[in-house]
Amino acid sequence: MPRLALLQSKTFATKDEAFSHHEKLIREAAAGGANIVVTQELFLTPYFCTVEDPALFDLADPLPGPVTDRLGALAKELGIVLVSSLFEKRGPGLYHNTAAIHDADGALLGLYRKSHIPQDPAFEEKFYFTPGDSGWPVWDTKFGKLGVLICWDQWYPEAARLMTLGGAQLLVYPTAIGWLPEEKPTLGDAQHCAWETVQRGHAVANGCYLAAINRTGNQDNTEFWGRSFVANPYGEIVAKASTENEEILYHDVDLQLVEDFRRIWPFFRDRRIDAYGDLTKRWRS
């Protein structure tokens, strides 16, 4: 039964400091028995999308490159599957919000580029990120089949379904989401409820485990709400982190439960694949 570790952390002043700190967290997670370790969204940088500033493109890294080499060496040394969320420079003027997936032998299995890009006050992501074109890959790792999606992707049932149709037993969502001070008093609880509930629904509808890994702490005008969690195929929250604290959240993932659930809740069997053509349209009228 593989052990999952979610690294709920904070913001650091430099990429070197962030990498060194997260390396300590990764080593601590492995020492705690973790087989699959996942970082929060854009773990090497602040959540820089609070403003539109062309100079911040300098934070990006080529992938594959020195960053993924270092992460791969760490995964190999510790014998863990490592999912890390990074800012990718793909080419001149072309940038992505990207997850790198390393297997337990250190091999870079591939990259997933965030598909759904939000644009909201303090979440100015369309300025920085090109929508991903990596499709919906599922990574067959030493410790199970993973689907990796990123933050805003977590609101879309189509993305979760396509990953699980590809065989994913566990969906992981590196995330950076929080409250704005003018919204928190009236909408804060509702926003968090919506975020958590929609993802629990993905777990149920697809008969899989789901893990969301969020930041914590304050940055600029945003209070990241932490509360990383793991849901089982029934949508039950089986592990949950605090709001304010940096922590490593562990859970042992029962992959047999995924198969057992899908046998008695046969959503894949009963799908009307002949009747869903309109899903490929922008609007149905």
Any idea which residues carry the catalytic annotation? 41, 114, 151
153 contacts: CB under 8 Å, gap ≥ 6: 114, 115, 116, 159, 173
DSSP 61: B
What sign does the dihedral 7-11-16-20 (CA atoms) show?
A: negative
**Residue in 8, 40, 7 with CA at minimum distance from that of residue 26:** 7
Query: Taking the CB of residue 89, how many other CB atoms lie within 10 A of it?
Result: 19
DSSP string over 140-193:
EETTEEEEE--GGGGG-HHHHHHHHHTT-SEEEEE---EE-TTTHHHHHHHHHH
Are 29 and 7 in contact by the 8 Å Cβ rule? The answer is yes
Q: Say how far residue 37 (Cα) sits from the centre of its chain.
A: 11
What are the beta bridge partners of residue 251? Answer: 4
Report the alpha-carbon distance of residue 18 to residue 16 in Å, rounded: 5
What are the beta bridge partners of residue 5? Answer: 37, 250
Q: How far is CA 128 from CA 51, 55, 122, 275, in A?
A: 10, 11, 13, 37
Upstream peptide bond of 64 is cis (omega within 30 degrees of 0): yes
Q: Identify how many contiguous H helices and E strands the chain contains and give both numbers.
A: 6, 15
